[in-house]
Amino acid sequence: MAASRIVLEDGTVLTKCDQCRAMHAERIPPTTPPCETCWIELNDENQEPALIYMMTRGQVVTLGERTIDISIPAIKIAMDLYKIKNQKDCMEKVMNLFHHFESERRKNES
pLDDT exceeds cutoff 80 at 57 = yes
Q: Which domain range does residue 86 map to? A: 5-109
The CA distance from 29 to 105, in Å, is 9
The predicted structure's pLDDT at residue 73:
98
The predicted structure's pLDDT at residue 40:
65
**Res. 1 pLDDT band, cuts 50 70 90:** very low
Q: What is the pLDDT of the chain when averaged over all its residues?
A: 87
The predicted structure's pLDDT at residue 15:
74
Cβ count near 100 (within 10 Å): 10
Number of domains into which the chain is organized = 1
pLDDT exceeds cutoff 80 at 7 = no
The predicted structure's pLDDT at residue 2:
38
Degrees (nearest 5) of the Cα angle 56, 62, 64?
A: 155
At 60-85, the pLDDT tens digits run: 999 999 999 999 999 999 999 999 99
DSSP letter assigned to residue 3: S
